[in-house]
């Protein structure tokens, strides 16, 4: 399986999946038929991850094709991504704690643990399903969502490895690797996200939902929840900014949001557009070659689309360490970026805050209405948000039933 890193490829994949987004998806979504047979799921996550295609566009297309009832299971999956992001926005200390733990583990990792991790990430555990998924992840940059859950459960409860290292392995290799979805899903499997609730991978379940392709032996039979110190209280959601009217600005995009067509920008006032990548900040080891290839291709596709949309605005692909020089060279005193949620992109931009201010430049962070409508419902469990899906869709002007 390969992913073409363009918006058009994402829209093409959406059109191909639409007939299957209703009852068929609900009935077959948990089956992992293998890398060459993915038509039971959307495979849209790489495009949603970078907002080459947006959640709203997906929801609108599915609702137009099926109405609000038949595709509800699929719509819930779209909203899970939104939920994780909103939850982490309110609990940034979870991301900070995860990153700090990784720093400690890498700095002072016992040799026995290092060997065990190396064996697992090389696909040499002797657990047939797990080893296969390691190689599939390395080769394709993608795993079925059910396989990700099984993998994480085996990593934590059978191999007894730190969940943070498993989450880092995923984030390094997954083309659709999202800081919120990845981190919090691993925490959920381990019993940290929903206190006391774990996910246990079993041989019978794996065999059933892979149609007998695997029969893993010696899996853990109990999943005792992990523990951690108490988390900080949820913070109020940061506010997004409004795009000013009548003022020239510089637009900066990174791979967090490349949907330049759907940002509601003021065409007349964009003076120049910069695109940059922070994939090397994804993990302590950066990102895999597959992730870098997709990200670079997505940035180049966005640059081409930007030139077509805004022919009077010069477009430049810039390295993060050259952003300040680029910004200074524009002479424009207003920098606009799409809202960067908690994660490496936000860290990278925050690290430039003092230098941006030193130039006398104001920075505005524009948040999409989809996030603004959904994130206030993401402070607790998913079903608080899930129960509000019709209300969120209605606020987005979409048919909610």
Helices vs. strands in the chain: H and E counts, helices first? 19, 5
Task: Name the pTM for this structure.
Answer: 0.96
What is the domain extent for residue 138?
96-209
pLDDT value, residue 293: 96
Q: What CATH number is attached to the domain comprising 290? A: 3.40.50.620
User: Assign residue 92 a region: left if phi > 0, alpha if psi is -120 to 50, beta otherwise?
Assistant: alpha
What average pLDDT score do residues 66-73 get?
A: 92
pLDDT at 329: 94
Residues 101 and 81 in one domain: no
Provide the pLDDT for residue 401.
65
Backbone angles phi, psi at 158, to 5 degrees: -95, -50
Please provide the average confidence, as pLDDT, over all residues in the chain. 95
Tell whether the model's pLDDT for residue 266 goes beyond 80. Answer: no
Report phi then psi at 41, rounded to 5. Answer: -130, 170
Query: Are residues 59 and 104 located together in one domain of the fold?
Result: no
Quote helix, strand, coil % in the chain, to nearest 5: 55, 5, 40
How many CA within 13 A on the CB side of residue 93? 8
Q: How many CA atoms lie within 13 A of 57 on its CB side?
A: 19
Within a domain: 379: yes
pLDDT 10s digits, 165-187: 999 999 999 999 999 999 999 99
Q: Distance between CA atoms of 302 and 309, rounded to whole angstroms?
A: 10
Provide φ and ψ at 253, rounded to 5°: -115, 140
Looking at the structure, tell me whether residues 191 and 119 fall in a common domain. yes
CA–CA dist 356, 334 (Å, integer): 10
From 209, 228, 263, give the residue that closes a domain. 209
Work out the pLDDT band at 123, boundaries 50, 70, 90. Answer: very high
Is residue 2 in a domain? Answer: no
With the C-alpha atoms ordered 368, 369, 370, 375, is the resulting torsion angle positive or negative?
Answer: positive
Residue 104 falls within a domain, yes or no? yes
Residues 49 and 156 in one domain: no
Looking at the structure, do residues 305 and 362 belong to the same domain, yes or no? Answer: yes
- Given pLDDT bands bounded at 50, 70 and 90, which one contains residue 149? very high
Q: Which of 209, 233, 266 is the last residue of a domain?
A: 209
User: What total of structural domains would you count in the chain?
Assistant: 3
**Residue 311 falls inside a structural domain:** yes
The angle at the Cα of 167, spanning 387 to 185, to the nearest 5 degrees, equals 15
The answer to whether residue 20 is domain-embedded is yes
What pLDDT was estimated at residue 400? 74
Distance CA 249, CA 365 (A): 12
Separation CA 387–CA 3 (nearest Å): 33
Last residue of a domain, one of 188, 209, 230: 209
Same domain, 66 and 157: no
């Amino acid at each position: 399986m390969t992913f073409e890193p363009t918006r058009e490829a994402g829209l093409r994949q959406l059109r191909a999946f639409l007939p299957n987004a209703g009852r068929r998806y609900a009935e077959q979504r948990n089956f992992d038929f293998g890398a060459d047979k993915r038509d039971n799921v959307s495979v849209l996550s790489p495009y949603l991850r970078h907002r080459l295609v947006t959640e709203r566009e997906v929801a609108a297309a599915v609702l137009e094709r099926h109405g609000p009832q038949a595709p509800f299971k699929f719509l819930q999956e779209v909203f899970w991504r939104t939920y994780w992001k909103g939850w982490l926005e309110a609990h940034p200390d979870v991301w900070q704690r995860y990153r700090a733990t990784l720093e400690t583990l890498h700095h002072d990792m016992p040799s026995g643990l290092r060997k065990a991790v190396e064996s697992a990430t090389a696909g040499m555990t002797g657990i047939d399903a797990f080893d296969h998924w390691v190689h599939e992840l390395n080769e394709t940059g993608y795993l079925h969502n059910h396989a990700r859950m099984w993998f994480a459960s085996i990593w934590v409860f059978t191999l007894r490895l730190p969940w943070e290292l498993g989450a880092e392995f995923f984030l390094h290799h997954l083309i659709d690797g999202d800081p919120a979805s990845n981190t919090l899903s691993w925490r959920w499997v381990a019993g940290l996200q929903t206190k006391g609730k774990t996910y246990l991978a079993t041989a019978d379940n794996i065999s059933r939902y892979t149609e007998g392709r695997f029969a893993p032996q010696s899996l853990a039979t109990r999943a005792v929840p992990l523990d951690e110190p108490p988390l900080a209280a949820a913070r109020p959601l940061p506010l997004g900014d409004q795009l000013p009217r009548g003022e020239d600005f510089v637009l900066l995009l990174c791979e967090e949001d490349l949907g330049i067509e759907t940002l509601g920008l003021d065409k007349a006032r964009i003076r120049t557009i910069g695109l940059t990548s922070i994939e090397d900040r994804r993990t302590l080891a950066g990102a895999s070659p597959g992730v870098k290839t997709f990200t670079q291709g997505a940035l180049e596709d966005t640059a081409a689309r930007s030139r077509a949309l805004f022919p009077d605005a010069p477009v430049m692909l810039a390295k993060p360490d050259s952003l300040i020089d680029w910004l200074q060279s524009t002479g424009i005193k207003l920098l606009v970026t799409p809202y960067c949620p908690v994660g490496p992109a936000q860290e990278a931009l925050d690290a430039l805050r003092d230098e941006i201010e030193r130039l006398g430049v104001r920075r505005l962070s524009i948040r999409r209405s989809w996030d603004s409508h959904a994130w206030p419902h993401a402070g607790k469990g998913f079903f608080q948000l899930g129960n509000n899906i019709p209300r969120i869709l209605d606020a987005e002007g979409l048919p909610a039933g």
